[in-house]
Amino acid sequence: MTKLRTLWKPMRNKSESAAFVLRSLVLPAACMISVGRPVHADQELPSGASIMDEYVRRSGGEEAYKRIKNRVRRTVVESPNGVTKVVSYEAAPNRMYVESTLPRGLVRTGTNGEVAWRDGYMGPSLFKGEERDHRFLASFFHMPVQWRDIYAQAVCTETAQIQGRKCYRVVLTPKRGTPQTRFVAVDTMLLLAEERTGTGPIGKFTIVLYMDDYKRVDGILYPHRVVQSVPGQMDITIVTESIEHNVEMPADRFAIPPAVAALLEKE
């Protein structure tokens, strides 16, 4: 499998770095990316904003998105470290709670729009800097239809090929955080890949998510298979088993755990 060429400092071994990327996984949520031929004057690219809006229309429509107030997604993650069961809970406007049952133990992560945290067998911690900003972006529940609230601009820069399919390359610049790149299929206007920068023990590195197996749930098309790729590492495959909307959740589902709250008091 061909990866993006990226300069980065490797970890001591692949198992260590794969474990870090898996612990950092955010679920929503591989092949070669190549830049297409230059666009001539008579082949003007559409605006990034029009592509984002068309994605909403093609994937279900604004009304269908706004009818959804919360979501429970169950996935299976296959990585070099084994199989992980993940359950993510999301709710408007920006709350997320994720339970990951790893071979080595349970890991919980969450955000409420103000704090992004992790707790589990390795102990509690708070996400900082770019990783915190990314989790805030990922937790924005109605992002597809309200993307202008969190992104300052969307710019279509060129065309690219994803598994032989022509895509628009759209760079999204958030009002807070680092830019993200999305690859939207020209024929279906569905998201085929997303690229962002991660930060960890290896320093900065590129994470690419490849989406396929789109299925409709309550009127919305969701990718049910995602491959997460990091240069120099084994790929991680995320398969969605089920998605439920507008379910009854416990009142404290998004509460900050006591161990994490204790960390906040020390700051």
What pLDDT, in 10s, does the model give residues 227-252?
999 888 889 999 999 999 999 999 99
What's the rounded Cα separation, in Å, for the pair 225 and 235?
13
In angstroms, the CA 229 to CA 54 distance is 27
Residue 7 forms part of a structural domain:
no
Sort strands 95-102 and 165-174 into parallel, antiparallel or unpaired.
Answer: unpaired
d(C-alpha 54, C-alpha 190), whole Å = 9
pLDDT at residue 26 above 70?
no
Q: Which residue did the predictor score with more confidence, 213 or 8?
A: 213
Asked, for residue 251, whether it belongs to a domain, the answer is no
- CATH code assigned at 225: 2.50.20
**Half-sphere CA count of 50, side-chain side, radius 13 A:** 6
Q: What is the pTM of this model?
A: 0.82
- Domain extent, residue 206, equals 14-36+45-243+258-262
Residue 224, domain member (yes or no): yes
Task: Cis check for the bond before 93: say yes or no (omega within 30 of 0).
Answer: yes
Residue 253 lies in a domain: no
Structure-token pair, residue 30: 């591989």
At position 220, the amino acid (one-letter code) is I
- 249 domain-assigned: no
Flag whether 1 is in a domain. Answer: no
| 252 is a domain residue | no
Give me the chain's average pLDDT, please.
85
Q: How many domains does the chain have?
A: 1
Contact 264, 115 (CB under 8 A): yes
pLDDT of residue 197: 80
